[in-house]
């Protein structure tokens, strides 16, 4: 069973287990093989456009356990990373899983940080412009390649309505993830866009 985290907080200890039976590959004969920790090693590689890091899992019987101390994660740079999991055995290597991690900043070492979502930042900027209280940092926000400071009143009202919905969705999702009922009593659903 895969239990990799979705988010990693820089400076926090990190750990999870991975059942060896969930790590499979197809060998040259076309047979599906699993990868017990007694004979394989498991390594995660994470990379984005500026940074990369790797994590080596430890064997616990035939399963794998990942333990990363806070002294290591404190060096992870915030941002989104693509990760790949590889099993190795002597001269043989197979990719067995992949995903995405978001590394969040170390809260303890931050002097200041804006924890608002992108949608909330855009909504706040639009409201500031509509209320005539816009500051320089509000005008650098662009939507569709156009600065919001150049949009008409009607365009800003449309953007405001769209981003109010996105922010409401985010807040409802956060409430649900924390076991709280959304204020509206409605559970909002987002469907993927298909090309």
Average confidence (pLDDT) over 108-136: 85
Q: What band does 110 get if pLDDT is binned at 50, 70 and 90?
A: confident
Q: pLDDT tens digit string along 143-184? A: 888 888 888 899 999 999 999 999 998 888 888 878 887 666
pLDDT of residue 192 exceeding 70: no
d(CA 9, CA 77) in angstroms, rounded, equals 10
Residue 118 half-sphere exposure toward CB, CA atoms < 13 A: 4
The pLDDT tens digits of the residues spanning 24-36 come to 888 888 989 889 9
Q: List the domain range (segments joined by +) for residue 160.
A: 118-177
CATH of residue 34's domain is: 2.60.40.10
Q: Is the confidence at residue 135, as pLDDT, over 90? A: no
Q: How far is CA 126 from CA 83, 136, 148, 155, 194, in A?
A: 35, 13, 7, 10, 28
Asked if the structure places residue 129 within a domain, the reply is yes
63 part of a folded domain = yes
| Average pLDDT score over the chain | 87
Q: How many domains does the chain have?
A: 2
| pLDDT of 117 | 86
Residue 125 within any structural domain of the chain: yes
Asked if 31 and 94 sit in the same domain, the reply is yes
């Amino acid at each position: 069973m895969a239990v990799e985290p979705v988010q990693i907080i820089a400076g926090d200890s990190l750990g999870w287990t991975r059942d060896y039976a969930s790590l499979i590959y197809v060998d040259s004969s076309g047979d599906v093989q699993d990868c017990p920790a007694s004979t394989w090693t498991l390594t995660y590689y994470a990379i984005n456009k500026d940074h990369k890091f790797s994590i080596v899992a430890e064997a616990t019987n035939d399963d794998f356990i990942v333990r990363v101390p806070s002294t290591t994660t404190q060096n992870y740079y915030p941002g989104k990373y693509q990760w790949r999991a590889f099993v190795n055995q002597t001269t043989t290597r197979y990719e067995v899983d992949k995903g995405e991690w978001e590394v969040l900043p170390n809260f303890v070492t931050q002097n200041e940080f804006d924890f608002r979502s992108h949608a909330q930042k855009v909504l706040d900027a639009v409201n500031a412009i509509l209320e005539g209280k816009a500051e320089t940092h509000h005008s650098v926000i662009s939507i569709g390649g156009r600065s919001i400071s150049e949009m008409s009143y009607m365009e800003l009202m449309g953007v405001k309505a769209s981003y109010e919905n996105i922010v409401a969705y985010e807040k409802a999702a956060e409430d649900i993830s924390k076991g709280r009922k959304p204020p509206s009593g409605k559970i909002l659903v987002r469907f993927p866009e298909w090309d």
